Structure 1
Amino acid sequence: MWIIERLVFRYEGEILKRGNIRRIVEIGGSLYIALPKSWTKTYNVKKGDLLYVTLDSSGNLIISRMPSTTMNKVTIYADGLIKERLIAAYLKGYDVMEVRFKGMADEERGLIEEASRFLVGLEIVGEERDRVILQCLGTDNIDVHCLMKRMIHLTRSMINDALSAICDGNIDLSNLVIQRDDKVDRLYFLVVRHVRRLVYNHEKLSSYNLTPLDLMDFRLFAKIVEEIADYCEKLSQDYIMLRKKGRGVPDELVEYIRDSKDDMVRYFDDAVKSFFNKNLELALSTRIGLDKLRKDLSKLYDTEDVIRVLLLAKVDSMIGLIEDITDLSA
C-alpha cells in the first residue's frame, strides 16, 4: 500500500518547523522544496522514482507515492478466528490471502468457504494440504457511488417492508426482510474495502472528484445505512417471534406504524438527499419531521409488555439513525 503525504505550503514568517513546513528555494528560475528525509527513508523513495502531484479542493498541494502494480498479499495462520481474520484482511484491501494451517479440519474449511461466500469477489483459487489461497477478483473497477446507491435502495425497501409486514400481518414479508440484510452487509463490506483502497490511491480518488474527508463521510454514512438495515432485520425477527407465541401487535402500535410508515421512508429519502447534496435546509426540515415521529412513538412506551417495548425500541432506533444521516449534511 502507499501512503498519502500532504505538503501544505503556507507563509508563516521566518518560522520553520521540521517535518511539515519547508522553505521554497529557486534554482534556475524554477521553485523547489526538499522532501522530508524521514518520509523518503520510511517509504524507500529514491532518486528517479515517480511521485503523483495534485491539488485538493482547498488549493493544497498533495504529493503521493505511485500505487504499487503488484498485488497486496497477507498470510493468515489458522485459529478459531479464521473468518474474522479474512474479513479484516478483505476490509484492509488485500488482494491475496493465504491461510496456513497444520492439517485442515472440516470446520476450518467450512469457515473459509463461508467467508468467501459472504465477501463479494473473494474466491478460493488454490488449495494444498497445509494452505488455502484466496483472491479478490473483479471488484477493483466498481464505482463506490454505485455500491452505495444499491445499499440505499435495499435499505429503503427493508424499512418499508419491515413496517408493512407488521401492518398487514405478513410473516413471509418479514422473512424476506431478514434475508435482504445479508445483501446489505455484503455491500457494506465492499464499500469499506473500496473506501480504504481509495485513501491510498490518490489518482483514482481525484478521478471521482473526492477528498479524503469525503471518504470519511462515506464510510460513516455507509455504516449508518447498514445499521438501519440491521434494525429492520431485528424488528422483523421480533415480530416473527411474537406471532410464533400466538400473540399479536397491540392495535395502537399497528395504527402508529400504519400512519408513520410512509413518512419514515420519505424522511430516509430526504436524509440521504441532504447528505449527498449537502443541503442543510433539507436536513433540518427532515429532523423536525423525525422529532415528531419520535415524540408520537414515546407516548406508546407506557406499558410493561416486554415484547411491545422491544418492537418500539427497534422503531425508535431506526428513527434515530435516520437523524444521524442528517448530521452528515453540513
Structure 2
Amino acid sequence: MTIYTRILQQIGSSILISLPNEWIKKNKLSKGNTVTVETNVDNTISIYNSYQEEEIKIVFELNEGSQDQNKIENSYDHASLNEKIIKIILNKIFGAYLLGYNRITVHSKNQISFENSEIVKKATRKLIGLEIVDENSFSISFQFLIDARTLNIQKILGMMNSIIHGMFRETIHSLSGDFSSDLKNKIASRDDEIDRQYFLLVRVIRTAIMNKKLASTLNLTNIDMLDYRIAANYLETAGDLIAELVTYLSRYKWPNQISTLIKKIGYSLEEMQHYAIEAFISTSRDKAFKVIENYEDFKQNIAELKKNIASNQIENLDETYSITLVNSISCLDNIAKCWIDITDLAKPTYTLK
C-alpha cells in the first residue's frame, strides 16, 4: 500500500485534492470519467472507479513443465505424480475461489483424462456458486455465478450456526440409545455443508476487502469483516469437533452415569452456543453474561466427569474406555472455547465478572 500526502486546495466554494497519477493509470481513467466518492462511518472516504471490471480471471496449467514437477517426477511413480499434480491444481482452484476470482480455467497441453476431470469437478462441488461454464478435452472453465451484492454474511453465519446446533443436539440425544452409522454419515455430510458455507463466507469477505464498493453495498466495515471472518472460523472448527466427537461417543454403549453427565454438559454447551451467537450479532452484554453463566455450569460438570474417571468410580471402565472418554472431554472443552471466543468478539469475557 502506497501512502500519498495531498494539500487541500480551494477553488470557489469547493475544496479539492489531486488523485495519484499511478492510481489513475492503473484504473485507466482520464478527463471526463466518473468516480464514486463515499463517506464511511469511521470518518474516512472511499473513491471507486465506476468503470471497474467486475470479472477477475485466472488460468492454471495442469501440466506445467516446472522445476518443482521435475523434482516430483524423480521421487514418485506415475500414479503418485498424477495425484500430486491434481492436488496442486485443486489447491490453486480453492485459493482462487477464496480470493474472489470470478472465472477460473484449468488448461492442459495434453488431453485431460476422464478420471482427472471427474476428480476436479467433484472437488469443486464444495464451492458454492462455482459452476462449469465451458469444458473440452483440454480445459475446464468455472465461473462464480452468484452476484456477491445479493449475499448476506450474517445469514450465512446463521446457516452455519443452525446446522451445527442440529449436529450437536442429535449427537448428545443419541446417548439415550445406540449410535447408528447413519447418524455418523449424516454428521459428516453436514460438516461438509458447513465447510461449503464457510468457503462462501470467506470469499465474500475477502472480495469485499479488495473491493470497497462491494463492502459498502453489503454495509460492512473493516471491523465487521474481520469479526465475521474470525467467528466463521470458530463455527467451522466447532463443526469439525462435533464430527470428531461422534466418532468417540459411538464406540461404546456408555454407562448411565457417564451418559447423564455428558448430557448435562451438552445442555450447557447448547445454551452457550445460542447466547454466544446472539451476543455476537447484537453485541449484547446481557447475552454475553449468559454465556459465562452457562460456562460455569459446563466447567462444574466437566470437573465431575474427570473426577469420576480419576477415582475409578465408574464400573467396568477399562483403559480403552478411559482414553476414549478423555478424548471426548477434550472435544467438548474445545467446543466450549469456540463459543467463549465468539462471545469475546462481542464483549470480552475477561471483563465480565
How far off its partner does 1:103 sit?
Answer: 2.7
Could you list the runs of 5+ residues in structure 1 that have no partner in the other structure? Answer: 6-17
Q: Which residue number in structure 2 is paired with residue 89 of structure 1?
A: 96
Higher mean displacement: 254-263 or 196-205: 196-205
Distance 2:94 2:222 in 1: 23
Identity %: 24
Note closer, same or farther for the CA distance 1:269–1:284 as it changes in structure 2 (3 Å cut).
same
How far off its partner does 1:77 sit?
Answer: 1.8
Q: Secondary structure at the match of 1:118?
A: coil
How far off its partner does 1:250 sit?
Answer: 4.4
Pairing 1:299-314 to 2, within 5 Å after superposition:
299-301=304-306, 302-303=309-310, 305-314=322-331
- 2:136 pairs with 1:128: yes
Distance 2:213 2:22 in 1: 24
Q: Deviations over 1:119-156 (max 9, x none)?
A: 11222222222211111223533333322221111111
Distance 1:77 1:170 in 2: 46
Distance 1:42 1:123 in 2: 30
Pairing 1:221-300 to 2, within 5 Å after superposition:
221-240=231-250, 242=251, 247-300=252-305
Are the counterparts in 1 of residues 272 and 336 from structure 2 also a CA contact under 8 Å? Answer: no
Higher mean displacement: 59-68 or 261-270: 59-68
Letter in 2 for 1:19: I
Q: Deviations over 1:33-74 (max 9, x none)?
A: 122344445555443333221111122222233363442111
Note closer, same or farther for the CA distance 1:67–1:60 as it changes in structure 2 (3 Å cut).
same
Q: TM-score, normalised by structure 2?
A: 0.80
Letter in 1 for 2:238: I
Distance 1:64 1:209 in 2: 15
Pairing 1:37-76 to 2, within 5 Å after superposition:
37-66=21-50, 68-76=52-60
Distance 2:346 2:51 in 1: 32
Letter in 2 for 1:59: N
Letter in 2 for 1:88: G
Are the counterparts in 1 of residues 35 and 47 from structure 2 also a CA contact under 8 Å? Answer: yes
Note closer, same or farther for the CA distance 1:281–1:22 as it changes in structure 2 (3 Å cut).
farther
Q: 2:337 aligns with which of 303, 316, 320?
A: 320
Higher mean displacement: 216-225 or 57-66: 57-66
Note closer, same or farther for the CA distance 1:250–1:319 as it changes in structure 2 (3 Å cut).
farther
Q: Which residue number in structure 2 is paired with residue 108 of structure 1?
A: 116
Higher mean displacement: 298-307 or 107-116: 298-307
Q: Which residue number in structure 1 is paired with residue 206 of structure 2?
A: 196
- 2:216 pairs with 1:206: yes
Could you list the runs of 5+ residues in structure 2 that have no partner in the other structure? Answer: 63-84, 311-318, 348-353
Distance 1:67 1:269 in 2: 44
Q: Secondary structure at the match of 1:173?
A: helix
Q: Deviations over 1:87-142 (max 9, x none)?
A: 11111111111101233234421221112322112222222222111112235333
Distance 1:234 1:225 in 2: 14
Q: Deviations over 1:205-231 (max 9, x none)?
A: 323332122111111111111111111
Q: How many residues in Structure 1 have an aligned counterpart in Structure 2? A: 309
How far off its partner does 1:31 sit?
Answer: 0.4
Letter in 2 for 1:90: Y
Letter in 1 for 2:163: L
Are the counterparts in 2 of residues 167 and 257 from structure 1 also a CA contact under 8 Å? Answer: no
How far off its partner does 1:20 sit?
Answer: 4.6
Distance 1:44 1:266 in 2: 54
Q: Which residue number in structure 2 is paired with residue 165 of structure 1?
A: 174
Distance 2:97 2:294 in 1: 39
Q: TM-score, normalised by structure 1?
A: 0.85
Letter in 2 for 1:225: L
How far off its partner does 1:289 sit?
Answer: 2.0
Distance 2:218 2:56 in 1: 23
Distance 2:141 2:243 in 1: 33
Q: Deviations over 1:144-178 (max 9, x none)?
A: 33222211111111121122223433324343222
